[in-house]
Chains A and B, each alone.
Chain A
Amino acid sequence: MTYGQAVRRVFMWEFMRFLKLRELITSVIVIIALDVGVPLIIGLVTGESERHIAVVDWEVTLQSSERFTFSNMPEADALAALEEGSVDGVLAFSEDGSAELTVQRGRTWNQQLQGYLSQAFLPSRLERVGVSAAQLEEITQPVAMDITEVDAPSGVGGGTLVSILLGLMIFGIFTGTGLLFTAITGEKTQRVTELVVSAVPPQAWIDGKVLGTIAYVVVNLATLGVGIVLSVAISGLFSGQGLPPLPSMSVDPLTVLATLGLVVVGAVLYLYLFAAVAATIDDPATSQRSGIIMLPGVFIALGWLGLIGDPGNPAFAFLSYFPLTSSSAMSVRIVLGDAGALEALLALAILVVSCLFARWAAGKVFSLAVLITGKEPSWGEMMRWLRRAD
């Protein structure tokens, strides 16, 4: 059996090992339910109904709206109506223009009524102070300003693109590393490792594992995408607005490609590193190393900071070349126009070389650590293994 055949067979096993069609369909249904069903239920639960307000001893009849209707009546009748529930509130006006509202405890629409009354009394108030409606409109008019954006076509912009890609990267890395941890520590606990290593080279095993994990993550992301598209479509149809238009992209294809390359290679780098770390763990329940799984999130978030901070400062420039942060930091610099093509290529080259080195180192550590049970090799031991490796 060739090396490639060994990798392919491990890949298929690892991919199919965790892939469950029923769970994928369930996750699509859950996404749709969350996106469509939950707002519907919240709307039904917190839905606003029409409120009847009794206005006490007042000569003016307030104009009713969709939310509030008003009836003028004597105070005694109004309070009796409130008690028996035929009105929701009793409103009494003073001569100075202020009002007193009597309602059952716990009503939440008081502010809305106040807002409505303010609007309703605005013309009479303006008249009292001698300001016409036209004058008011002129006073409240915003300062005229024409905005011309250079090179800013409409559609999904660079910031949005990089946020989406890095979000997907974090999702993929957490899903992938979680899966690798479960798979590898499980294999060690179940004593499968020796049997596999006797049949395939450890490097082929880890390569197959990482590829299988990537395939699984891609299927999961695709499922998530299908769920989101379906839920948006269903929401549109339910609301009567129809299907929303497809978003257009305002970023040039080369930028998309460079960012995608950084994100994918960065994710693969993390998966190799974490496969090696997982192989060193003896008992996942007690190992301190299990917490390392959170680190990629921190590193990727560091790069993301460029979107809200200044991507041009020297520290951020360093992060955009450092392999553990370059996938996010350089992506941010590219889409914000802070890095040129050469810089992007240099960061990508460093990342690819680092990824190849990580694959080699992970293979060496994995081949030895995966056979060790009962203890965890120290970081120093692992470094010694690498120094002695061919």
Chain B
Amino acid sequence: MRAKFANTLHGERAVALVVFALLAFLPGVIGGYPIYILPQYLLFGALAMSLGLLWGWVGIVSFGQAAFFAIGAYGMGLVMQAGLGGWGGYLGIVCGVLAGASLAAIAGYFLFTAGVKSTYFVLVTLALSIIVEQLAVSQSGITGGYNGLFVDRMALALGPLGNIPLTGDVASYYAVLVVVPILYFGLKALTQSSFGKILVGIRENEDRMTALGYNVSLYKSAAFMLSGALAGIAGALYATHAGFVSPSLAGVTFSTEVVVWVAIGGRLSLLGALAGGVIVSALSNYLSSISPQYWQLALGFIFILVIMFSRDGIAGAFAAMANGISRWSRKERQLSEPYRKDSRG
């Protein structure tokens, strides 16, 4: 039997590697709009992973991911406006990460040490998104209010070798295609480390973990901070790629969309969350272009259908299928070889 810690499809990493490799060839095949827009979907995928970590591994649902994403995006926007030249982009990323991480760390620390859980946590994080949105609207001297902020594309400063501007869509595409896999594989390794196991323990039985001597609220805060950092970097890169940041990035609608992506993609798998973010945001974009009135309704139906058939989303359906096949093949084998003791789990 498989270890439940992994709580993913066996070979998920291999699948991810193949997908990323295929994406690397894409600009050779097609150009134009897809190459422009795909990096933004991938960054939405990274945002979805930031929620996947929380939902899948710690068992907490946050509607605050949009807040962290937006604050990361504004961080990048403001740094880019400061006119720091080639290094501005790096600084923007650092600012975005720090902004997302600190907001999450502060909110998380107070919420978790106060024992705020489940529904109440959802409500507070939803409020967090609304607060960030309102701040973005009201502090128009800094944020540009409803008009938003225009953000230049960053450049890759290489010191003495000069700068590589990412103004071209293909260069930008590859930059994002380097960052998102790093985030995915890094996060994947983290979930399989001792830290990831402890998070699963907390998800499964918080009281038991406390009685075993684990400082549960500290671990939850750390996971939340990490999730905020991830959402922050996704937001920062999104800002410089899309070229525009507005208060709606922190809004209730966007917050809810992130939750829907992860629910559809599968909260128990990082790749599921990533794919959910990419596919559902792409689908939303497509549906809204063909039917501006009804696309949200259509998306709602898709959401309900997926959850009806697989509570753990698309990745959950795949995992159940793979599980079924391996159980079936084991049964076949057991029938042919009467009994063989499995010594190791």
A interacts with B: no
Please list the residues of chain B having a beta carbon within 8 angstroms of any beta carbon in chain A.
none
Please list the residues of chain A having a beta carbon within 8 angstroms of any beta carbon in chain B.
none
